[in-house]
Structure 1
Amino acid sequence: MTKVYILHENDEWTIHLTNRLEELEVPYETWHLDQGVIDLTSVPPEGVFYNRMSASSHTRNHRYAPELAGGVLAWLELHDRTVFNGSHALSLEISKINQYTALEKSGIKTPKTIAAVGRDQIFEAAEKLGESSFITKHNRAGKGLGVRLFHSKEALKEYVDGPEFEEPVDGITLIQQYIQAPKPFITRTEFVGGKFVYAVRVDTSEGFELCPADACRVDDLYCPTGAVEEAPMFEIIESGIDPDQIARYEAFLKENKIDVAGIEFIQDSDGEIYTYDVNTNTNYNAEAEAKADKYGMLELATFLKTALANESK
């Protein structure tokens, strides 16, 4: 019997998808790729393969999971298996340099960014960028980890030379133009099967760790005292998204063989839109979805069910 095979490294995120597959009675098997063996002399099983390897795997002590996933994907693609979010999608997931070059190639504007390896080179990159305010981020990160905002070169030097400096897992630090939004929020657009599902407004007033998964949220989305209800951090919005922008994103996904993704952008005070993240291991926020009655994992499970049915014909 053919199955849906899920390549991943985080059970806590994947269970939301497997619950939906069970609800739809879709046969599946999970491949947890923290450790494993790739037998290149063997033939992969028949079925549909969906890769949801995460750039942030190293934060869960799964340092080499993306490299193992890359090998598994190459093996599957060698045997012409149906793979969603394959090798090219993984290359963008684990490198923001690859993301930004691919976005720019598709005519999608990204913030000015300079990559650096070495602490002295981080200062050199900041000088070259020439911005009074800028952010640092890791080339391979996820969840907004490693993102810091600076308003001076002196503050950057204090951070890089100090004990709080976070060494990127691949050694590459990005120095990036800081986009000042009129209000503290970004927008994340979700796509399944390369098609737009919904957009989420994400409140950034508490910082840059913007992972929408319930497992990423340490605090409650609302005021912890319960005295005053605040706006939710994640809110699905029904309007305000330019359909031409969505069309450009869908074309970008098709060009780069990405089937499932969350794409994040920010708009400055002049109305200019900058796209700064493509997350091919997308997660969804349960409270925001329940309020809007829209469910990303259900859309994804339905997409995989249809793909498996087509595979079996």
Structure 2
Amino acid sequence: MKKVYIIHENREWTVHLTNRLDQLQVPYEEWYLDGGRLDLSKEPPEGIYYNRMSASSHTRGHRYAPEFTLQVLAWLEAHGRKVFNGTRALQLEISKVQQYLELKKFGIHTPRTIATVGKEQIIEAANEFDGVPFITKHNRAGKGLGVQLFQSIPALRNYVEGQSFEEPIDGITLIQEYIQSPENCIIRCEFVGGKFVYAVKVDSSGGFQLCPADACQIEDLFCPIGEQTDVKPKFEILETFSNPILRNYEKLLAANDIQIAGIEFIQNADGEIFTYDINTNTNYNADAEAKTEKYGMLELARFLSTELNK
């Protein structure tokens, strides 16, 4: 029997999808690729494949899961299997540098960014921002890894040379211009089947941990930076959202064979849009969805069901 095969390394982020597949009575099987074997003499099972491998897998002890998944995806594609978010999607998932280069191909504005290897190179790159605020972030990230805001070079040096410095898993630290949102928010646009589903407004006043997954929000409850001091929701789905940039996003996704993604942007005081993240392992916030009765995982389950039936 043909199935939907879900490739991932974190069940907390996948259970909401499997619940929806159960609801729709879609047959599926999970491939948990934190480790495993790949026999190149064998053919993959018939069915369709959905890749949910995460760039932050190493934070859960799964250091080589993305590297192994790339080999598995190449094997599937070599045998002509239908893969959603295949090798190209994973290449972008684990490299902000490649994301920004691809965004620029489609006329999408990104913050000025310098990629560095080595602590002294981090300092030297920051000097090129001429005294304006800047942030550090990891090239292979997810969950806001390595994101710190700095107002001065001495503050950066104290961080880089101190014990709190986070070493990137691939050794590449990005120095990026800081875009100040007058509303202290970012917008995350969700796509399923390469088409826009909805936009969610995310309150960024508490810091840079902006993952919408329920598990991430549970972690926030025990972190001072995630505490809520008022009734303002952190995640709010916008009932009506329209912007010409959506067409460029959809063109980018189609050109890179990406079917499921969340793309994040921020606007400055002049209304300029800066896109800074393509998340091909996208999650959805249950509380925000319940208020509007728009459900990303249900849309995804329906999409996979339709594709399986083809």
1:238 alignment partner AA: E
- 2:39 equivalent in structure 1: 39
CA offsets 1:245-290 (integer angstroms, 9 cap, x no match): 1111111110111100000000000110000000000000000000
TM-score (norm. length: structure 1): 0.95
- 2:279 equivalent in structure 1: 279
**2:199 touches 2:241 (CA, 8 Å); kept in 1?**
no
1:165 to 1:207, Cα distance in 2 relative to 1, 3 A: same
2:117 alignment partner AA: V
Q: Distance between the aligned counterparts of 1:256 and 1:42, measured in 2?
A: 27
- 2:112 equivalent in structure 1: 112
- 1:133 equivalent in structure 2: 133
- 1:234 equivalent in structure 2: 235
SS of the residue 1:129 aligns to: coil
SS of the residue 2:53 aligns to: coil
CA offsets 1:109-151 (integer angstroms, 9 cap, x no match): 0000000000011011111233510000000010112100000
1:100 to 1:45, Cα distance in 2 relative to 1, 3 A: same
CA offset at residue 38 of structure 1? 1.1
CA offset at residue 106 of structure 1? 1.2
2:77 corresponds to 1:77: yes
**2:34 touches 2:62 (CA, 8 Å); kept in 1?**
yes
CA offsets 1:21-67 (integer angstroms, 9 cap, x no match): 01000000000000011111110010000000000100000000000
- 2:172 equivalent in structure 1: 172
Identity of aligned residues (%): 65
TM-score (norm. length: structure 2): 0.96
Q: Distance between the aligned counterparts of 2:250 and 2:301, measured in 1?
A: 20
Q: Distance between the aligned counterparts of 1:260 and 1:203, measured in 2?
A: 23
Q: Which moved more, 1:81-90 or 1:249-258?
A: 249-258
1:237 alignment partner AA: L
**1:114 touches 1:129 (CA, 8 Å); kept in 2?**
no
1:228 to 1:275, Cα distance in 2 relative to 1, 3 A: closer
Q: Distance between the aligned counterparts of 1:189 and 1:240, measured in 2?
A: 9
Runs of 4+ displaced beyond 4 Å: none
2:255 alignment partner AA: E
- 1:224 equivalent in structure 2: none
- 1:49 equivalent in structure 2: 49
1:232 alignment partner AA: P
SS of the residue 1:53 aligns to: coil
SS of the residue 1:197 aligns to: strand
Q: Distance between the aligned counterparts of 2:97 and 2:40, measured in 1?
A: 30
Q: Distance between the aligned counterparts of 1:177 and 1:220, measured in 2?
A: 29
**2:116 touches 2:122 (CA, 8 Å); kept in 1?**
yes
2:15 corresponds to 1:24: no
Number of equivalenced pairs: 306
Q: Distance between the aligned counterparts of 2:230 and 2:127, measured in 1?
A: 43
**2:57 touches 2:66 (CA, 8 Å); kept in 1?**
yes
Q: Distance between the aligned counterparts of 1:116 and 1:228, measured in 2?
A: 37
2:200 corresponds to 1:200: yes
SS of the residue 2:197 aligns to: strand
> CA-atom RMSD, angstroms?
1.7
